[in-house]
A and B are shown apart, each in its own frame.
Chain A
Amino acid sequence: MPGMNSGLNISDPTVVAAFKAALLHQGLIALLIFAVLGLAWVTVRAWLPAAAQDGAGTVPAGTPGPALAEPAWRQLLRIGFGLLWIFDGILQAQPKMAIGLPSQVIEPTAASSPSWVQHVVNWAGTTWSYHPMQAGASAVWIQVGIGIWMLAASRGAWSRLAGLVSVGWGLVVWAFGESFGGIFAPGLTWLFGAPGAVLIYCVAGALIALPERTWRTARLGRLTLAGMGLFLAGMAVLQVWPGRGFWQGRLGHAPGTLTDMIQSMAQTPQPRFLSSWVNGFGSFTAAHGFAVNLFAVAALAVTGVVFLSGRPRLIRPAVIAFTVLCLADWVLIEDIGFFGGLGTDPNSMVPMALLAIAGYLALARAPVAAAAAAEPASTGASAPASAGAAAAGWRDRVRPAAVRQSLAAASIQSVASAGAVGLIILGAAPMAAAQASPVADTILAQAINGTSAPLNYPAPAFALTDQHGRPVTLAGLRGKVVLLTFLDPVCSSDCPLIAQEFRQAGQLLSADSARVELVAINYNPLYTQLAYTRAFDRQEHLDGMPNWLYLTGPRTRLQQIWRNYALPMQILPAGSMIGHGDYAFVIDQAGHMRRELNFDPGPATTSTKSSFAAELTDLARQLLGRS
């Protein structure tokens, strides 16, 4: 998965500082969004007291109609998963997330999946590693926004929409972040989170998004539990399947499948007591693998069958037992899930238990609630709409009087919901803009080599020969921005990478290429023939680039130029390449040196190469007055 890993340290101080700064700035904007909405709400209510009075007797905006009380199962899902989304969002704000999520979380998760899954996931991981600030921050605000929205909007279309958004974002995370929950990978097991925690968020979101008429009967609860029952029965079959290694605590000297999974979880940095529990259970599994798997198979099968039965008297103890089983699995096998600095969520067992309890509540209590009231007439009303407005058509709802009434009647929950939508937009918009850019953020290059200070002095002159045998001088390049570097044509590591970065910069500058010259000067005193600069150009596919010049000349002249640019050079013995540094210079149209860049290509991943190219492009465009 070539683009997934930026290659930088996941705790890189430059990136971590920039990520924190981005979150702080966006956090202030988030506060501003809520403050403005709150102020507007207070102001509107003060200006429109009559309307507010009218609205005071109604239910909050977005929760129109004579109330069928929100059933307990829905409250549980809405509040439970709302809190989970907020918690997940907070986890995304961990400092290591910006760099670490693609390489340490997404890539390992996808590693055992089929190549088409890896291909799909690589696209997302590459996007993240190209724009770690925007991607990291967007995950924070989108998830916190969804959580607040679900908590705040308890009724009506506004609440159902929150459920749908939860489904949509959950599917994104499930596909790209969890590699489809690993369902296409071997070793799939419920014990370790199949079918992916976020898919359960999606199911909960879908239930929340159902219209109120579905609340009336026990059918929804029965279907939910039947679905879970089928799933658990299927998981029991997978668990019992021979040849998957779950029946053995040990496979010869190696740990069995389950033991291995548990022991690897125990390696995660976490509180000592927790790791000792997990280690202890790992040892127990190693010694009694057959018994542990037998218990798991029996528990899954029995729970599945009972859930399928649809009989509340049987289901109630089964749900209690299933919840205990989930909590035990959560602690002893899934290892809580969010420790180590790169945990993205509390894993699958908490949402699984919430879903089972909600299913039971929907089955057992729905008929009582159904008797309370009839379904309101306007379940599709928009947030600011009052009950009366909701009953009318959309033209009536946008009439000034109706809008005034709606605004005045809006509840604090509606304001919070609108603020949550603002948070989601706050996260999604910069990421969408960044994703549209084909180049990586320059923060990656700065993390490797730091930033450079502006300069302004005449650049040392040179007069050499280009790869076509034509004489070239710096003075002859006046009027153009010169991006200059020094490359050894037989260097095997950094020089080819720098050349690739210059080539990418040339491609990015396409519209400005006539005004920017990409120049390299030979940095090897022993291999100075044109045949070598030409061979290097062919190697790096630079030979067809119109504004590329690779200059060489007699050894003495080259050495004078290196001295003038204060560049070190050493002929090393015993088969080493020439000892030299990695540099780039930005020279303006008047021949003045404007930047000197350390240009060590670092880990040389696709994202860092793209980042260096972006840095060169930005600096050239600044001198061209384009940014």
Chain B
Amino acid sequence: MSRLRRPAVIALAMAAAMLAAGCGNAAPAAQRSVSRAAPPGPPSLDTSLVTAAGTWAVALMGGSAAQHNNFWQLFARPAGSPDWKLVTPPGVPDNGGLVVADAGGRSLITGFRPSQYLTYTPLTATRDGGQAWSSASPLDAVLANAPDALAAAPGRGHLLALLTDGTAKMAAPGSATWSTLASRRSLAATPPGRRCGLQNLTAAAFTPSGVPLLAGACGHPGTAGIFAARNGTWQAAGPALPATLARQNITVLRLTRTANRIMVLLAAGTGPAASLLAAWTSGSGSHWSLSPPFSLNGAKLTSASFGPGGAAAIMLTGNRAQTIAGTGATWRTLPAPPPGTATLAPGPAGGFDALAVHRTRLTIWQLAPGSRTWATTQTINVPIQFGSSG
């Protein structure tokens, strides 16, 4: 037995080490679920907006399982025309996302969210309703994945961009240089940012008078996180919320300028109890009008579109659509939109257009004013080049 002692001890130690190494469960431990629901984020880049040139719509097309084979398309319906046309700016792969901003007049500026190995954001602009595009100086960073990540000051040429890292950058007209306007952290450290308990930034815009606005989600309840850069300081610029929302966390889902007003969509609360509100302000942002809350009942906002007169139309999960006509109006349920509807847009003669996507085919469905039925009016086959950009 004594002969065995020393090697046996060594072997025992080795066996113990192996046991210790091998005794882990083959299956990983189940992750504990997070009990607290995260605040809702901004909707997808599918959207539409109305400018002096006409109505614009952005939709993702391709229907491919491979992300790099799905491309974002830009459609335009010139003012006074009943027909949509494909006006996607050429020359840049837009499978990472397309963000558009009204640059005033007939101009529109488009930012291409970079994909794959591209890490900066090319920009291009049109001044003729999408007939011709000319490249603008790029943004040396990645544009945030939000429909209001890019904004242009009407008539001034300033650009404002919200980045994925929560930084907001601004460029002077025609300049290739972007300077940092704020970051989430710096904004959260300002007095209005502290009152809001700013968690993240979700949208950027200019007021009609050219004041930069940033918006996001507040950690402190009852506060809408909208901030204006005036006279070198950041000021709270959001609406005062009613007492019924005093215990709700507020997230700005959309922030956009339409003609001479600013319009926002706010989510109040989280999870199944969350509700949606619209708010409008004219020029200065000193006075806001709030819509009644609309209960989401667990649905999520997938697309939001804005029309003249402060109208908004939203798409929700479950193929549901809601609209609100403007200040003082209430939310109205639209007839179930056609399958594949990516976004809604104001119709040419009132009513609504639904842009429905099936792979490479876009079908325009129209809901005439007062009608309860969607009717097909146009089909566009988009020549997507599968395999071209990835």
Enumerate chain A interface residues (CB-CB to B < 8 A). 183-188, 194-195, 219, 222-223, 226-227, 230-231, 233-234, 237-238, 241, 243-245, 257, 310, 490-493, 496-497, 524-529, 531-532, 535, 538-539, 571-579
Pick the contact of B3 from A219, A234, A496 — CB < 8 Å? Answer: A219
Chain A proximity of B63: nearest CB distance (Å): 13
Q: Which residues of A contact B122 (CB under 8 A)?
A: 490, 527, 532
A531/B176 in contact, CB under 8 A? yes
Question: Looking at the complex, which one of B8, B21, B92 makes contact with A577 (CB distance below 8 Å)?
Answer: B92
- With an 8 A cutoff between CB atoms, is B65 at the interface? no
24 A/B residue pairs, CB under 8 Å, sorted by A? A186-B26, A188-B21, A194-B18, A222-B3, A230-B14, A238-B22, A244-B25, A490-B118, A492-B114, A492-B117, A493-B117, A524-B91, A526-B91, A529-B135, A529-B137, A538-B140, A571-B90, A572-B385, A574-B73, A574-B382, A574-B383, A574-B384, A576-B71, A576-B384
Query: Quick check: which of B93-101, B326-334, B341-349 contacts chain A, the rest being far away?
Result: B93-101
| A233-B68 Cα distance, complex, nearest whole Å | 53
Which residues of chain A are within 8 angstroms of B120 by Cβ–Cβ distance?
535, 538-539
In the assembled complex, the Cα of A188 lies from the Cα of B382 at a distance in Å of 54
Beta-carbon nearest neighbor of A572 in chain B: B385
Chain A residue at minimal CB-CB distance from B90: A571
Task: Name 7 extra pairs, CB < 8 A, besides A241-B23, A526-B133, A575-B384.
Answer: A185-B22, A234-B15, A493-B116, A574-B61, A574-B73, A576-B385, A577-B92
B39 within 8 A of A: no
B119: Cβ under 8 A from any A Cβ: yes
Chain B hits for A535, CB < 8 A = 120, 138, 140
Q: Would you call B15 and A230 a contact (CB within 8 A)?
A: yes
Size bracket, chain B contacts: 35 or more
Q: Report which of B4, B26, B90 forms a contact with A526, defined as CB distance below 8 A.
A: B90
Which residue on A lies nearest to B22, using beta carbons?
A: A188
Please determine whether B3 and A577 come into contact, CB atoms closer than 8 angstroms: no
Whether the pair A226, B388 counts as a contact (CB closer than 8 A) is: no
Give A497 to B390 CA distance when docked, in angstroms: 12
Beta-carbon contact of B91 and A237 below 8 Å: no
Q: Which residues of B contact A575 (CB under 8 A)?
A: 71-73, 88, 92-95, 98, 384, 389
- Cα of A234 to Cα of B19 in the assembled complex, Å: 7
Is there an interface contact between B92 and A527, defined as CB atoms closer than 8 Å? yes
Chain B, Cβ-Cβ closest to A230:
B11
The list of the 9 closest CB pairs from A to B, nearest first, reads A575-B71, A188-B22, A234-B15, A526-B91, A496-B117, A575-B94, A577-B93, A576-B388, A492-B118
Check A532/B135 contact, CB under 8 A, given A186-B24, A234-B18, A493-B116. yes
| A231:B15 contact, CB within 8 angstroms | yes
In the bound assembly, the distance between CA atoms of A424 and B29 in angstroms comes to 46
Interface digits, B116-133 against A, CB 8 Å rule (1 contact, 0 not)? Answer: 111110101000000001
User: A574-B73, A575-B384 given as contacts; is B15 within 8 A of A186 (CB)?
Assistant: no
Question: A246 to nearest B CB, angstroms?
Answer: 8
The answer on a CB contact under 8 Å between B71 and A237 is: no
**Which residues on B are within 8 Å of A, measured CB to CB?**
3-4, 7-8, 11-12, 14-16, 18-19, 21-27, 61, 68, 71-73, 86, 88, 90-96, 98, 112, 114-120, 122, 124, 133, 135, 137-138, 140, 176, 382-385, 388-390
Tell whether A195 pairs with B18 under 8 Å between CB atoms, given A227-B7, A532-B138, A571-B90: yes
Residues of chain A within 8 A of B86, CB atoms compared: 573-574
Contacts of A526 in B (CB 8 A): 90-92, 124, 133, 135
Residues in chain B near residue A528, CB distance under 8 A: 135
Q: Is the CB of A492 within 8 A of B90?
A: no
Docked pose: A219 CA to B176 CA in angstroms:
82
Given contacts A245-B26, A531-B176, A535-B140, contact A184 B21 (CB under 8 A): yes
- Closest-CB distance, A599 to chain B (whole angstroms): 15
Residues B383 and A573 in contact, CB atoms below 8 Å apart: yes
- Given the complex of chains A and B, what is the CA–CA distance between A571 and B112 in angstroms? 17
In the complex, the chain A residue whose C-beta lies closest to that of B121 is: A535
Q: How far is the CA of A231 from the CA of B23 in the complex (A)?
A: 15
Chain B residues, Cβ within 8 Å of A578: 91
Q: Give the shortest distance, in Å, between B262 (CB) and chain A (any CB).
A: 30
Q: How far is the CA of A76 from the CA of B16 in the complex (A)?
A: 30
Report the bound CA distance from A237 to B19 in whole Å: 8
Which residues on B sit within 8 Å (CB–CB) of A244? 23, 25-26
Q: How far is the CA of A512 from the CA of B135 in the complex (A)?
A: 38
Residues of A contacting B16 in the complex (Cβ-Cβ under 8 angstroms): 234
Question: Shortest distance in angstroms between B1's beta carbon and chain A's nearest beta carbon?
Answer: 9
Q: Complex formed: what's the CA distance from A493 to B388 in Å?
A: 10
Residues of B within 8 Å of A227, CB to CB, are 7, 11
Q: Given the complex of chains A and B, what is the CA–CA distance between A61 and B383 in angstroms? A: 80
How many angstroms between the C-alpha atoms of A579 and B92 in the bound complex?
10
Bound-state CA distance A572–B27 (Å) is 48
- Which residue of B11, B27, B71, B137 is within 8 Å of A231 (Cβ)? B11
Complex-state Cα separation, A571 to B385, whole angstroms: 11
Q: Report yes or no: B389 in contact with A492, Cβ–Cβ below 8 A.
A: yes
Given A231-B15, A575-B384, verify A183-B390 contact (CB < 8 Å).
Answer: no
Least Cβ–Cβ distance between B332 and chain A, in angstroms = 34
- A186 with B25: CB separation less than 8 A: yes
> In the complex, which residue of chain A has the Cβ closest to the Cβ of B95?
A575
Could you say which of A183, A490, A497 contacts B18, with CB atoms under 8 Å apart?
A183
A230 and B8 contact, CB distance less than 8 A: yes
Contact at A238–B118, with CB atoms within 8 Å?
Answer: no
Does A577 lie within 8 Å of B26, measured CB to CB?
no
Min CB–CB distance B29 → chain A (angstroms): 10
Also in contact, A183 and B22, with CB within 8 A (given A493-B116, A493-B117):
yes
**B389 contacts across to A, CB distance below 8 A:** 492-493, 575-577
CA distance A527 to B125 in the complex (A): 12
Residues of A within 8 A of B18 (CB): 183, 188, 194-195, 231, 234, 238
